[in-house]
Each structure stands twice: as structure tokens, then as C-alpha cells.
A and B are shown apart, each in its own frame.
Chain A
Amino acid sequence: MLGELEQVVLLAVMRVGRDAYGVPIHDEILRRAGRDLTLGTIYKTLSRLEEKGLVASHVGEPTAQRGGRRTRCYVVSAAGKRSLQSTFKALRHMASGLDVGLEPT
């Protein structure tokens, strides 16, 4: 079962799609969840997810606005998607019959 931060970061990586590196992931989480995470927190979570094989990463292109430094871009793996599904399933089962705004669809 995924932790809350892991879920948020995984979903953000999926939403950003191509070129999902720190800054857009941070912005996506800020926009959708209203949480201003530090990059340290985000990368810490991503590296934990990568160790579990739930995301994969590759080195991206350097740009001038980054002081010539490369990005590291992440994609959610098939295992990552399965993990999200099982987590949500578990949550739905747990919430079933309770009025917590997470009824089974």
C-alpha cells in the first residue's frame, strides 16, 4: 500500500506526462492539491518510488535557465500503476458504507 505522499507524487508524474521532472511535478502538486512541497521532499519520494520499481527515470536535456544543468525525468511504470490501483481499491473497500465522500463507483 502506497503512502499518501507517494500517491500524490505518482499521480503528479502521470499528469505532467512527458518531461516530468522536479519543477513541473512541484507545480502540478501545488496547483491541484494546494501543497507547496520542497524539491527535497519530492526527490526523496521519487527515489523511494524508483527503488521500489514504481517509477523509472532518465536524464533529460540541459537548458540555460537551469544554469546549464540537466533534468531528470520520471515516468510511472506498469508496477506503479498497479500499485496505485490496489491502493485505491483498498481505500474504496475501507470506505465502503461510510459517509466519507469515497463511495464505490
Chain B
Amino acid sequence: MIRSCIWLLERSLRPDLAEHVIGDLIEQQERGSLWMLGETVSALWHLHARPHATSELLLSIVADLRIAARLLGRSPAFAFVSVLTLGLAIGATTAIFSVIEPVLLRPLPYPNAERLALVWERNADGSRDNVGFATFHDLIARSHTLERAAAIGEWQPTLSDHGEPERVIGDRVSWTYFRTLGVRPAIGRDFAESEDLPGNNQVVILSYGLWARRYGGDSSIVGSAISLDGKPMTVAGVMPASFDNTISPRVKIWRVLGYLNQPFACRTCHHLRMLARVRPGVSLEAAHAELDGIKAQLVKAYPKEYAADGMLVGRLQDEITMASRPALLALSGAVLLVLLIAVANVVSLQLARAIRRAQEFAVRGALGASRARLVRQLLTEGLLLAMLGGAAGVVVAYVTLPFLIARLPSTLPRLSAMHVDVGALGVVTAIVLLLAIAMGLAPARGRFINLSSALGSGRRLSGTANHSTRAALVVAEVALAMMLLVSAGLLGRSLVRLMGVDVGFDTSHLLTLEINSTGPRYPNDSSVFDFHDRVREAVSALPGVVSVAVANQLPLAGNLDMYGVADVDNPPANPEQVPFGDRYAVSSDYLSTMRIPILAGRGLTAADANDGANKVALVSDALAKRLWPNESAIGKRIRVGGRDGPPRAIIGVTGNIHHSGLDAKSTMQWYIPERQMFFADNQEALAVRTAGDPAALVPAVRRTIAAIDPTQPIVKIATMDDLVSASTSQRRLALVLFGAFAAAALLLAVAGIYGVLAGTVSERTREIGVRSALGATPTSLIGMIVGQGGRLAAIGIALGLAGSFALTRYLQSLLFGVAPNDLVTLAAVCVLLGGVTLAACFVPATRAARVDPSTALRSE
């Protein structure tokens, strides 16, 4: 900086001046009391004598900027509207880009992240399925294309020392997990191979956040034992604060897997995800082909343990962003449309101003300014506006980004990497430069340098070229606004459709929470069942509680717990090709508490839970129809969870429910008494049907459960209505953003149309006066102006319709129950846009109708 200032001064000033001026500058700089750039510009400004290209240019730019600033100051309304428009649009673009860039564009924060992939077993329908441990084990043993791989299983332990009992989200991972990612613990050590065995796997690694929060950042915890689910486990290490676990962003603790030769390490137990790193120089396609080959060998060796051939391999970044990518891309498209509209608007304002300033430019031209010089002046004015807009945009982005991030789903990867950063600011800079050029050059196309006409008459110049440019801009604005409005409309209708979905049970007045029973107090299954019974009895005694039920999971609570369901008396040839259903191991009053209808047969009774009672089950209507399409399900026998389970007699058929979200593919369910399951669930959902507001009961319910066992955490407290709205929260966010963008676009487009027509009316005052003097009625004058605006709007709407047809199919995955070219939405948007633009036409039109012919003609 200092050097370049000195360099510039040495070349720009007379040598004798340069000598002592630079000396003085250096002396002041040494004392640390100098604003070098300001001093340099001032010295150039006051002292330069020797013409030098760089300093000449700098000086004239400074001069142009001064003039531009003064001119902007003289039309504060124009400056304010322009800067505000640009600021909001640039700010929104920057904020959205700051969210998208780390997720979709920036490489994941691991060395050679492009070699990382997730591997899945392929279902018969081509969909992804988790990998069984035995399959994982065979794949890595036989593969030559994989450098390393790790299996990942979900794990939610209860931390019960160092403070309140707490459920944490964790993962159980192969000892190779962090090595595959290419990261290391910041404190302590990584897992060892010998620890990845049953019995040796009481070892965990903590995330930096958990370590800092719960253990106060105490490094002596490393190497010592902490209590997880009542068992001591050694802390091997702590991951660095910078480690971003993008595969499961919410995980705070990792335990080594230790699955080898365990019963749940079977080939058909699909509950592990598989992370792999391919060798350098090996493509993912090559790895995929090899894994397909190995799977084929396995299917041949174990034909009854696989439902289908083939594996699926996806680049890690693609896999973890798959769910959010369509929404993020749609949002970035939307925000770019808004930016385009804002630019069109400001350029249009510039054009209008250029017409008003035609005389100024003509005079400057007459006094010897070249066309290039005038264009540069306009460019500088554009640059100043764009810079101010950009600065406002950065402020807007800084203010809005935290709000935006807070509303993003916590499962979105790279949340911690979202900042208004260099990349985002680079985008802003690029936008600003392009804007400056657009705003500078668009008015230059006009005829402001036509000396004779401009100087000849102040009133009569029309700037035809500018008018057609402005009209084109307005048409573009309307078209772009139309596309945004259609998108917002489609998303809105999707949400309405979604809220109308019948979930199959009564969501109101229902409190849900999760209770835990881990540790030495619960040595066996019956102690867990007893705890559930005690909790149910105590909570149902509370005033305001209608009924209470427990279940291993609840609908819409984000659980996935499915088992294959086989018809005992008519099993399929390949036992893996059975339908899967959500497991509901429940207390006898579960169906009545949830108000899930029983369509045939009977519900569960307390007697079904007794020792020695017959094994019974209910199935959902969809599952019954899938297994016995033409027969009654009652009395049939099913087997769940492998081939050695007991047969269970169907006693009833229930209504279907939405288990995994209002918009998710519907699944099938089966219900059994929890005491008839072959294990007890340590994490159990509690559903409390209340008479009044369910949220009001939370403190009482908490106290009651804590009185039974204060060492167990109570988590996931929410009303069912909360869960329903949470399952639509991403759609709401998308809708709110699209809605805001669409509203802004509509406003800008309307302002654009209004501006063009108002300009026309004031420029055509004389012509309108003549028409009026020759007998044109106010109505016909209004018709003339409205017709002009209507034409622009109609062209814009037509183009917007075409654009909507082209673009809305990219929204497909965000829509629900609505086609991308939904006629109702398109028609509604056309009516809205047409109505609003026509309304905007009426103000200038009535002004035209009120033109007094005598005044208009006399003004000549």
C-alpha cells in the first residue's frame, strides 16, 4: 500500500516536489499518524503537474466520483430508492449464497474429499438401503479399490455423570472412521483396531462442543472414564473444534462399533451406513463396478439373505446434500431473479434520469467532452450507486444471515461454515461491477448527445431509444416477477395440500416425550417394562390427563424402526422379499390414546400383556391388503424380525397413519404389546392425551416421571401439533423466502411500470393537450395510457408464463399434490399481476386525463 502510493507519487509529481513531499509522507508515516491513501490522493490532486496516465485517470475518476456524489445528493429520493433496492437484492443474494456455497460448492473439509463416498445396498426398486455388518465386512475384505472404509450406526446414549442426566446424539463407528475421513482428534488418540471388538469397545471420542460444554474443556477427562447408559467408558480423545461431522451434523460423541460376530451383525440387519475412501486414481465408477461384482458373489453365496443385487456408490458431498439440494438450488434461482429485477429497476431509473439530464450532457458535449468521457461519467455514477448498493447489501447480508441460519434444519451439513465470507463478498463485488457497467452503459445508448435537438428544446426531446429500453426492462421485470409469483404460489398450494393430509390419528391435545431406562437400575427387560407401567400409571393420575400410552416410537417424531413382516403360513421363497412395516411395540391403550381407528377385529387389551398370553398383533390396513389382498387378515399369523421369531395371530386391522412425515411415502405398520416384543426398548416414547392445552402439563409430567427415577433424562418434549408443524418447517421456510422474493419482485415490477408511464405522461403532456383540444375525452386518454401499460404487462405476463413452464419443473421435488404447471396457480397469478399492474397504470392515466389543453399548449 505505502509502496504503491510512493510509486504513484514518484511518477506523477515533478521530481523536485516528489523529493520533499514523499519525504514528508514517510516521516509522518514513521510517526504512525497518517492516512496514506488520503494523503496521496490529496497530494496528487493539489500538486500533480507532470501528466501521467495512472494519476490522470485516478484524478479524473476522483473528479467524476465527486460530481457523481454531488448529483446523487441533489436527487436524494432517486439515490435512496436505488441504493435500497440494490442493497436488499444484493444482501439477499449474498445471504443465500453464503448458505449455499459451503454446502454445495465448497469441497468438504477433509483432505482429498473427492475420494470419499457413501456406499449403500441397492433395493429391488433401485432405492438405497443401509448395509448389514456382514456385508460391510465382506466388501472391505474383498475390495481392492477402497483405501479405507467405516461403518456407521446410530447411537443415543445417556450421559449420567458431571451434571444432569443428558441424552446425547452419537454414532457408533468402525475404528477406521476418522482415518477414512482423514481427520484426527485434537486431544488424546484415535480408536485402535483392537478396540473394534465386542468387549473391548467401551471407548468413546467426544466432539469439541460436548467436551467444552459438559466437561468444561478439562483435558484430564481424556484417558479417564465417563458414565454412558450407566456403564463406564474411556474417553480416548476429543475432536478439534474445526472438525465438521458432515455425515451426521448433530452427532456429539462417537463410540467404537465392536460388531464382529454379534447377533445384530447379520447380513439382513440393514442398519449401518458405509463410508468409504477410494484409492488415489480410482474413480467412484470403478469402485462401484467392483462392489457390484463382490455383491453378486455374496448374493450367490447367500441367496436367501439378500433381496436384490447391486450396490450404490455416491460422492459423499452429493449424498449428504441430496435432501437439501433442490430447495437450495431453487432458492438461489429465486434470489437471482430478484437481483435481476432489482437491476432492471435501477437501470430503468437511471434511464429516466438520463432523459431528464439530456440537456446537461448536451452542454458538456458542446463544451468539448467526448462521448467516451461522458460515458465514463455515467459509468462512474453507476459505480458509485453500485458500490453504495453493495455496501448496503453487505450490511443486509450480515443482519439477515444469522436469522436465516437459525431457521435452517439442524440436519443440514456445514451450518458452522456459513458466514458472509470472502467467497460471498467476491460474488457481491462481481455483481457490483456488472451493475455499474449496466447502469452506466444503458443510458449511454440513448440520444442524450444529440446536440441540436437537446439544446434546441428542453421539452421536445423524447429519447426514443431510452423509452424502448425502459419498456423492455419493464416487460422483463413483469416476466421475472411472474415466475417468482408462480413459484411462491405453487409452494403455497403445496403447503395447503400438505396441511390437509389426514395423518390417521388425532394430533390435537397430545403431548409426546421420550423416557429412558438405562444403567444398573434396569438389569433386565421386565424392570424396563415395569418402569414404563409405573410412569403410565403416575402420569395418567395427573389432573387434565385423559389417557397415557407408551410405544417404542411415535408417528412424525422422526424415528425409523422397520421390520420385515412374513406370512407364517405362506412365506415367500426368498425370506428377504417380505414387506416392511413400522414396528409399534406399545402399551394396550396406545391405539385409543392416539385415536387410531380399528377397522376390523379388536384392539389390544391389558390381558394381552400377561405372561403366557397368546402372541397377538394388529396390522395397518395397507399391510393387511399387501399380505392378503383378497382375504380378511383376522386370524392370519405373521412373523416379524427374522425367521426364528414366534408366530403372532392377527386380532385386528387399524387405519393407516403417516409415520415419517406428511409428505413422505406412506409406510405400513404393525402393532404388538410391548411385553410380547423379544427385547425391551430403553428409549420409549410417551403419548399423553390431555383435556386442555398439552403444553401446560409439561412441568407436572416432568415432576411425576422424575419422582419415579431422577437419574433418567426426559427428552424430545413436544406437542404432536409441534411435531406436525416441524415436519413442514422446511417447506414453510422455502415458502416464506419465495413469498418474500415474489412480493419484492411484484413491488419492483409495479414500480417499474408506474415509472415508465409517469415518464411518458409528463413527456407527452403537449401531445395529450393537443389530443384533448381536438376532442379526445378523458376516458379515451385514460384508455390510451392504460392501454400502453396493459400492453407491457401483457407481454411480460406472456413471457413470464413461458418462463414458468420452463422453470417450475425444477421445483418438482418441493411440490406436494400440485403439478408444476398447475392451472389454478397460473391463472391466479395472471389475474393478480394483471390487476396490480393495471392499478399502477391508473395513476399516471388519470393525470393525463386531467391535462388542461390551454396550459399544455401555452407552455411552448
Chain A residues near B (Cβ < 8 Å): 21-23, 26, 38-41, 43-44, 47, 59, 62-63, 65-67, 69-72
Contacts and interface: CB of A to CB of B under 8 A. Distances in A.
B30 A65 contact: yes
A21 B47 contact: no
Contacts of A65: 26-27, 30
Given A21-B20, A65-B27, A66-B27, 16 more contacts: A22-B20, A38-B42, A39-B39, A40-B21, A40-B42, A41-B46, A43-B47, A63-B27, A65-B30, A66-B24, A69-B20, A69-B22, A69-B23, A69-B26, A70-B19, A72-B20
Contact of B21 (A22, A59, A63): A22
B45 interface: yes
4 closest Cβ contacts across the A-B interface? A69-B23, A40-B42, A44-B46, A38-B42
Contacts of B44: 40
Contact of A43 (B26, B27, B38, B46): B46
8 contacts: A22-B21, A38-B43, A39-B21, A39-B24, A39-B25, A44-B46, A67-B23, A71-B20
Interface of B: 16-17, 19-28, 30, 38-39, 42-47
Nearest to B20: A72
B845 to A, nearest CB: 55
A63 B47 CA distance: 23
Given A23-B27, A23-B28, A66-B26, A40 B47 contact: yes
A62 B17 CA distance: 14
Contacts of B38: 38
Contacts of B30: 65
B319 to A, nearest CB: 59
A73 B205 CA distance: 72
Nearest to B40: A40
B39 A38 contact: yes
A28 to B, nearest CB: 14
Given A23-B28, A65-B30, A39 B42 contact: yes
A62 to B, nearest CB: 7
A45 to B, nearest CB: 9
A71 to B, nearest CB: 6
A22 B17 CA distance: 11
A39 B30 CA distance: 15
Contact of B43 (A40, A70, A71): A40
B136 to A, nearest CB: 69
Contacts of B24: 21-23, 26, 39, 66, 71
Given A23-B28, A65-B30, A40 B23 contact: no
Contacts of A23: 24, 27-28
B46 A69 contact: no
A68 B28 CA distance: 14
Given A23-B28, A38-B38, A65-B30, A43 B23 contact: no
Nearest to A68: B23
A90 B778 CA distance: 68
A100 to B, nearest CB: 31
A66 B47 contact: no
Contacts of A66: 23-24, 26-27
Most buried by A among B16, B17, B27, B39: B27
